[in-house]
Amino acid sequence: MKHSRKAWDLKEHHLFAMVQLNEPDKESLINNKTVERSAKVTVLDTST
C-alpha cells in the first residue's frame, strides 16, 4: 500500500476499495522457479 500511494501520488482521500493478488501456482513455488507477483488495485476517490 505504501508503495502504491507513493507511485500514484495518492492522498488521504484515496481509499483502497479492493486488492486482488495474482499469486503464482504451487508448482512454480515448489520448483523454485522465478515468479512474478502482481495485483489489481481498485482505488476510490472520496473527494468527488
| pLDDT 10s digits, 8-48 | 999 999 999 999 999 998 988 898 888 888 999 999 999 98
Domains: count for the chain: 1
pLDDT of residue 47: 94
Taking residues 3-7, what's their average pLDDT? 91
Q: Among 14, 21, 20, 23, which Cα is nearest to 43's?
A: 14
* Residues shown for the chain: 48
Domain range for 13: 2-45
- Cβ-proximal residues to 20 (8 Å cutoff; 6+ apart), any chain: 39, 40, 41
Q: What is the DSSP string of 1-48?
A: -HHHHHHTT--TTEEEEEEEEEPPPHHHHHTT-----EEEEEEEETT-
